[in-house]
């Protein structure tokens, strides 16, 4: 019965220590999980910058430059132009059309995609008008200007998205470092505080128990130990108080026995 009781007490203290340790581990695991999620988001933002925004800026600027080259040589697209001049112009226009299609995959906002679509429509019109002869110069110029204007607006939106992504990456990086630093500092402070509290509680209780044991050995122990917890230290203090009470009862019985014996011996002698 005594072994079972001690086993239950030990389990209570083990559970208390386990719970304290588990809470600290969960706090650190939460910080680590949040850090991993933040780092994953940071990686995604940087990946988007590298694989989406930067190529979109590069391809948009290239299209804007190619458009200027086409407008300067649009006379080569006329049916009256020599065949060896028409083919290079048509090849460049075909490459631009393919680049327009490829560019769409790198656009991330609705504004970019809308301006890209308008630019594609205007460029298709410009390309068709350029092959109809010299009589439509005003319409060709208008279509080319529209294409350039929409490309410029698309590039502006792309630059804006790029700046927003870079700003988000910087803020996310700073917030991650700050959160990890303060969370680790708080966890360390909580661990030290908990360890100090548990250690102080154990050493204080053991010190009182040691002093009471010395008083009991010297025969001057008069007041029971205060029981302040329900763990092993509290159980040990209760057991010590019961032992001291039993010893006092034994001492009282011994004194009564000696008193009776002395009385019984004195009466016949008298």
Give the CA distances from residue 128 to residues 90, 105, 135, 151, in Å, rounded to whole numbers and listed in that order: 11, 25, 13, 18
- The tokens describing 87, both together, are 């083919």
* Cβ atoms of 247 and 216 closer than 8 Å: yes
Predicted pLDDT of residue 228: 67
Structure-model confidence comparison of residues 14 and 224, the more confident one: 224
* Cβ atoms of 24 and 190 closer than 8 Å: yes
Predicted pLDDT of residue 16: 65
- For the cut 60, the answer to whether the pLDDT of residue 201 exceeds it is yes
How many residues comprise the chain? 270
Structure-model confidence comparison of residues 68 and 86, the more confident one: 68
Predicted pLDDT of residue 11: 45
pLDDT digits over 206-253, tens only? 777 787 787 777 776 667 777 766 666 677 777 877 887 777 777 777
Which residues lie closer than 8 Å to 137 by C-beta, 6 or more apart? none
Q: What does DSSP assign to residue 105? A: G
Predicted pLDDT of residue 268: 67
pLDDT digits over 249-261, tens only? 777 777 777 777 7
* Cβ atoms of 177 and 90 closer than 8 Å: no
pTM to 2 decimal places: 0.59
Q: How many helices (H) and strands (E) does the chain have?
A: 6, 0
Cα 193 to chain centroid distance, Å, stands at 24
- For the cut 50, the answer to whether the pLDDT of residue 44 exceeds it is yes
């Amino acid at each position: 019965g005594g072994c079972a009781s001690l086993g239950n007490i030990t389990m209570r203290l083990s559970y208390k220590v386990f719970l304290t340790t588990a809470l600290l581990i969960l706090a650190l695991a939460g910080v680590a999980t949040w850090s991993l999620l933040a780092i994953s988001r940071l990686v995604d933002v940087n990946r988007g910058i590298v694989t989406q925004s930067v190529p979109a800026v590069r391809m948009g600027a290239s299209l804007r430059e190619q458009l200027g080259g086409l407008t300067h040589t649009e006379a080569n697209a006329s049916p009256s132009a020599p065949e060896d001049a028409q083919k290079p112009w048509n090849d460049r226009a075909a490459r631009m059309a393919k680049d327009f299609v490829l560019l769409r995959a790198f656009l991330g906002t609705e504004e970019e995609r809308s301006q890209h679509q308008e630019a594609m429509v205007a460029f298709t019109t410009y390309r068709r008008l350029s092959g109809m002869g010299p009589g439509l110069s005003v319409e060709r110029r208008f279509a080319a200007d529209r294409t350039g204007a929409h490309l410029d607006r698309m590039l502006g939106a792309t630059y804006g998205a790029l700046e927003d992504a870079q700003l988000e990456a910087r803020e996310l990086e700073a917030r991650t470092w700050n959160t990890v630093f303060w969370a680790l500092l708080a966890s360390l402070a909580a661990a030290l505080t908990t360890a100090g509290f548990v250690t102080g509680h154990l050493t204080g209780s053991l010190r009182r128990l040691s002093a009471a044991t010395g008083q009991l050995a010297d025969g001057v122990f008069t007041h029971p130990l205060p029981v302040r917890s329900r763990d092993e230290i509290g159980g040990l203090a209760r057991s010590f108080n019961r032992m001291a009470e039993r010893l006092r009862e034994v001492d009282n019985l011994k004194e009564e026995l000696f008193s009776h014996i002395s009385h019984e011996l004195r009466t016949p002698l008298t």
